[in-house]
Amino acid sequence: MNNDIESESVKAAQYAVERAIKSGCSAARSSLSISTQNSFAVRDGELDRLHGSTGSSLFIQVFINDRYGAYSTNRFDKRELESFISNAIEATKYIEKDICRGLPEKELCYRNDRPPLVQHDSRLFELSAEEMKNIAFTSADEILGSDKRLISVNCEFSGSLDFSYMTDSQGFEGASKQSLYSLSAECSVRGAGEARPEAWWYEASMFFEQLKRDGVAKMALKRATDKLSPKKMKSGRYTMVVENSVSNRLISPIISALNGASIQQNNSFLKNSLGKRLFSDKMIIFDDAINPSAMGARYFDSEGIATNPSSIIQNGRVEKYFINSYYSKKMGIPATIEGPSVPIMRPFDNIELTLKEIVYNCGNGILVTGFNGGNTNSSSGDFSFGIEGFYFENGEILHPVKEMNITGNLIELWNNLLYTGSDARDVSRWMIPSLAFEGVSFSGI
Amino acid sequence: MNNTERLLNFFGVTTEDLRKIIDKALSSGGTYADLFFEYTVANEMALRDGEVNSAGSHIDYGMGVRVLSNERTGYAYTEITSTDAMMRAALTASGIASGSIKSSTPVEIKNIPYKNRYPIEIEWLKATVSSKIPFLNYLNTRIFESDRRVNKVLARVSDSQTEVLFFNSLGEIYSDVRPMASLTATCIMEENGRVENASSSRSFRMGAEFLSMKVVEQVADEAVDRCKILFDAIQPKGGEMPVVMGAGSSGILLHEAIGHAFEADFNRQNISIFSDKLGKKICRDEISVVDDGTISFNRGSVNIDDEGVVGQKTYMVKDGVLNSYLHDRISAEYYKTSPTGNGRRESFRFMPLPRMRATYMESGKSRESDIIGSVKKGIYVDNFSNGQVQIGAGDFTFYVKSGWLIENGKLTQPIKDINIIGNGPEALANIVAVGDNLKIDDGTWTCGKEQYCPVSCGMPSVLVSSLTVGGI
């Protein structure tokens, strides 16, 4: 993005804090976000969609004698900002006092004392429309005409550059730049019958040259054709293997339950669990927060509190709650961080296992390659998810399964963890590998 | 000065400017172009731990340029409505086409007439923060006074007013003012160490007249009733069984099982399981399914959609026959039919797509008690949180927050926290009884197809002879 836009917008963010304080706020924070994105999508060998944009927003939080309000605008003109902030302050004065509202302790905030995180590749500005289109076309060419069952293939190349900046009235100032390049493919196929199963695949990288481009469409096509001719299965308890592309679905409700808001609101099945061993001793989750090569690594959270590498769950024992400054004061416990930056799941005893090895080790069971809906009860940990995947026997995939749900309780599920793979994909912020659980309740026919 | 003139002034453009931007958008040979200007002010206020202790306000401003080259779409937006910025966006979007100008904007500009389905009595801009606080406090009090087990209440009131100005290469122009108001409550109860939570909400396209003691009482009472029942509920034994879907929010079945698969972008691409079924019999004669943008004040209603097509009522299924897909301009052109007013977008940052509005099934003739009475062993469900569908395979799911076991025609044991999975065409064909009690659910339903759009749904009670129910 344009450096002039960046610097002008940063001035607007700084001005917002100054103006808020001059107008009577006891404290204020402003957070700026600017994002530039270009994408080109190709459907069935023809350019289908292009999208280009730069968007921005300024998020202003004001604290007026224990009263709190949060406001945002994408209008950065000085006079409009003045009016916006005045209105925000007036509105906040009507809110009831909450003595827990305020900026975090200054000592907890990041002090710009680490080497810059290199997460930004501005190559997007140099790429021509033709080059970006061609990446999508080349991906689609991998499979066009290769399989008569293929009905439709969509390939999309996307690049984005995000700049964020934050400042507050106690002197905190921090900025970050991240880029993301991705290539995705989605295929629909048709075999016998009416169904047209679809499947997708994607690769992503912070750096253009590191984006894996080969094999994306081929993988999407393979995953789609593998789904043809599914069979309904009998209800029962099966060993469940969950592929690395979707395994974070089983972690996210746990991370949510460790959040201060859920705990303080008595809406977490993990309240009163800090320091306790609730899960299998094979369960190890770590926040690799400042690993410079990890997508999502950051030096500070949305309050400016410094991030650090830390254990979340160690050998089944809960080691971290995510407590921001507000819930810290509400509950009278120390603030930690608002949430994980790069949650990674590590194999037990450092045993390295691929998905194929896990399936082989499990012998018989169901390999889950996708979740279809479902939810978790945040108070109890009870869950029920629709799944798609494959039945396997003696370590060999036999056939796709159709219309099945898994149901149970997350604490029980994670106590039945059999294997943690070493195959986490590096295409997203969460790095969760393939997993295996025993005795999972599947409902079918 | 009429509203369109007012918004032209507000966005700092003239009709001559709009023509020039359109001409730029079509300069590479696009077949159609439109401009979508949008200004939204959204407010929210939340109650937590008995206090209304946070407020927020959000302003969003910008315009998007869309260029079509037959079925293909170029899109760009800008948050600055200077001529230069808009011309740059137009140039970016024009890149979808490759050639020279094939069409130009007509000289005559036509206002698109429409009926206002959501006239505002009291503008949200005139509703002060202090005027909203008593409603949240009353909601909190009413929930706490309803049951001694209530432990926490989270409540939120949110409102927005969106002003839209639209112009296209056909010379058509319109403006619209779109209000939205929502009230939500989550009730958390604890008894003997067991904690349960339940939520309720109401949402309408209304001004500040939305807030009333009546709507507060509806939300409070429903949240409490939904939470209380969970203390007696179990996760049932799973498997295939008959499912009675209670009137109202069971419309999620229509949204997930068939609604998305009827959206014509999927069908023109031949990737929906319903792609070959237009005009064919797909379920019993007594079933008619509607997607309706004309219900007064409904969350899913559109006076006029986001590509200049007037809101309307569309029969997707009429007397058991697949009658119409849900069209935007692109798919309507593909199928050589008229667009159905389903071209919607989350904001100026997004290109419009075929999206549902209020999707419901018309009433049949059966009484709900007879439907339940006809089931020997199955479940009754009437409270949901979310759903999903796979368009091509047709497999859909929805998550049941609570319901009942049916044993020998009677509701016996409360159940909770189960996912239900089925196949769209099969589930539709397996609806064997339709109740006489259609009810539209006025909760905060939001559809997440690529972008977020407010929708609603409705249903009379129906019996689906077989669905796969999650359980232990």
Per-residue pLDDT tens for A362-384?
999 999 999 999 999 999 999 99
Q: Say if the Cβ atoms of B393 and A198 lie within 8 Å.
A: yes
Q: Which residues of A touch B273 (CB under 8 A)?
A: 194-196
3-state secondary structure string across B15-83 = HHHHHHHHHHHCCCCCCEEEEEEEEEEEEEEEEECCEEEEEEEEEEEEEEEEEEECCEEEEEEECCCCH
Contact B274, B262 (CB under 8 A): yes
- For the cut 60, the answer to whether the pLDDT of residue A1 exceeds it is no
| Residue B310 region by backbone torsions, left for phi larger than 0, else alpha for psi between -120 and 50, else beta | beta
Q: What is the pLDDT of residues B55-114, one digit of tens each?
A: 999 999 999 999 999 889 999 999 989 999 999 999 999 998 887 666 666 778 999 999
Q: Say if the Cβ atoms of A386 and B55 lie within 8 Å.
A: no
Quote the pLDDT of residue B103: 63
State which residue of chain A sits closest to B92, comparing Cα positions: A52
- For the cut 80, the answer to whether the pLDDT of residue A402 exceeds it is yes
Q: Mean pLDDT throughout A286-311? A: 95
CA distances from B342 to A54, B280, B301, B338, B350 (A): 27, 22, 10, 11, 15
Q: Mean pLDDT throughout A51-72? A: 94
Q: Say if the Cβ atoms of A403 and B423 lie within 8 Å.
A: yes
State which residue of chain B sits closest to A375, comparing Cα positions: B399
A38, A384, A402: which to substitute to probe chain B, counting the most B Cβ within 10 Å? A384
Q: Which residues share a beta bridge with B434?
A: B462
Q: Of the ranges A28-37, A41-50, B383-392, which one carries the lowest mean pLDDT score?
A: B383-392
Please tell me whether residue A352 adopts helix, strand or coil conformation.
coil
pLDDT band at residue A349 using 50, 70 and 90 as cut-offs: confident
Quote the pLDDT of residue A359: 98
Does the global pTM surpass 0.90? yes
Q: Say if the Cβ atoms of A52 and B197 lie within 8 Å.
A: no
Buried b / exposed e across B152-182, counting CB within 10 Å, b at 16+?
bbbbbbbbbbbbbbbbbbbbbbbbbbbbbbb
Domains of chain A: 3-225 (3.30.2290.10), 236-443 (no CATH)
Q: Say if the Cβ atoms of B421 and A406 lie within 8 Å.
A: no
Buried b / exposed e across A65-75, counting CB within 10 Å, b at 16+?
eebbbbbbbbb
- For the cut 90, the answer to whether the pLDDT of residue B268 exceeds it is no
Q: Of the ranges A44-48, A170-174, B163-167, B181-185, which one carries the lowest mean pLDDT score?
A: A44-48
Nearest to B392 among A88, A97, A198 (CB): A198
Q: Say if the Cβ atoms of A265 and B188 lie within 8 Å.
A: yes
Per-position DSSP letters for B395-435, written without gaps between them: EEEEEEEEEEEEETTEEEEEEEEEEEEEEHHHHHHTEEEEB
More confident residue, A193 or B89: B89
Nearest to B385 among A267, A375, A383 (CB): A375
Q: Say if the Cβ atoms of A375 and B240 lie within 8 Å.
A: no
Q: What is the pLDDT of residues B121-150, one digit of tens each?
A: 999 988 988 999 999 999 999 999 999 999
Q: Mean pLDDT throughout A378-391? A: 95
| A341 CB-near residues (< 8 Å, 6+ apart) | A287, A288, A289, A290, A294, A296, A297, A298, A301, A307, A429
Quote the pLDDT of residue B229: 95
| Residue A215 region by backbone torsions, left for phi larger than 0, else alpha for psi between -120 and 50, else beta | left
- For the cut 80, the answer to whether the pLDDT of residue A258 exceeds it is yes
Å from A308 to nearest chain B CA? 29
State which residue of chain A sits closest to B41, comparing Cα positions: A73
Quote the pLDDT of residue B269: 86
Q: Residue A432 is encoded by which pair of tokens? A: 């969760």
Cα–Cα distance, A17 to A26 (Å, whole number): 11
Quote the pLDDT of residue B391: 84
Q: Say if the Cβ atoms of B55 and A91 lie within 8 Å.
A: yes
Nearest to B273 among A101, A195, A265 (CB): A195
CA A425 to centroid of chain Cα atoms: 13
Å from A268 to nearest chain B CA? 9
Q: Say if the Cβ atoms of B419 and A405 lie within 8 Å.
A: yes
Q: What is the pLDDT of residues B326-376, one digit of tens each?
A: 999 999 999 999 999 999 999 999 999 999 999 999 999 999 999 999 999
**ipTM value of the model?**
0.90
Q: Mean pLDDT throughout A201-225? A: 97
Quote the pLDDT of residue B1: 80
Q: Say if the Cβ atoms of B398 and A71 lie within 8 Å.
A: no
More confident residue, A369 or A348: A369
Q: What is the pLDDT of residues B299-326, one digit of tens each?
A: 999 999 999 999 999 999 999 999 999 9
Contact B125, B161 (CB under 8 A): yes
Nearest to A198 among B79, B275, B390 (CB): B390
Buried b / exposed e across A358-391, counting CB within 10 Å, b at 16+?
bbeebeebbbbbbbbbbbbbbbbbbbbbbbbbbb
| Residue A213 region by backbone torsions, left for phi larger than 0, else alpha for psi between -120 and 50, else beta | alpha
Å from B367 to nearest chain A CA? 29
Contact A409, A376 (CB under 8 A): no
Q: Which residue, among B432, B451, B419, B249, has the nearest Cα to B344 in the 3D structure?
A: B451
Q: Which residue, among A172, A158, A148, A203, has the nearest Cα to A50 in the 3D structure?
A: A158
For residue A306, which amino acid is it?
A
Q: Which residues of B touch A404 (CB under 8 A)?
A: 421, 468
Cα–Cα distance, B229 to A442 (Å, whole number): 26
pLDDT band at residue B270 using 50, 70 and 90 as cut-offs: confident
- Terminus-to-terminus CA distance in chain B, angstroms? 65
Other CB atoms within a 10 A radius of the CB of residue B42 amount to 17
Nearest to B74 among A50, A70, A403 (CB): A50
Quote the pLDDT of residue B389: 87
| Cα three-residue angle B456-B457-B459, rounded to 5 degrees | 160
Q: Say if the Cβ atoms of A405 and B238 lie within 8 Å.
A: yes
Tell me the HSE value of B262 on the side-chain side, using a 13 A CA sphere. 31
Q: Say if the Cβ atoms of B74 and A72 lie within 8 Å.
A: no
- Radius of gyration over alpha carbons of chain B, in Å? 24
Q: Which residue, among A338, A342, A302, A307, has the nearest Cα to A323 in the 3D structure?
A: A338
Q: Which residues of B touch A227 (CB under 8 A)?
A: 393
A:B CB pairs within 8 Å: 250
State which residue of chain A sits closest to B277, comparing Cα positions: A194
- For the cut 60, the answer to whether the pLDDT of residue A157 exceeds it is yes
Quote the pLDDT of residue B123: 93
Cα–Cα distance, B73 to B334 (Å, whole number): 14
Query: What does the DSSP 8-state code read for residue A122?
Result: G
CA A356 to centroid of chain Cα atoms: 25
Cα–Cα distance, A420 to A435 (Å, whole number): 5
Quote the pLDDT of residue B367: 97
Contact A352, B171 (CB under 8 A): no
Per-position DSSP letters for B301-360, written without gaps between them: --SB-TTS-B--EEEEEETTEE---B--HHHHHHHTS---S-EE-SSTTS--EE---EEE
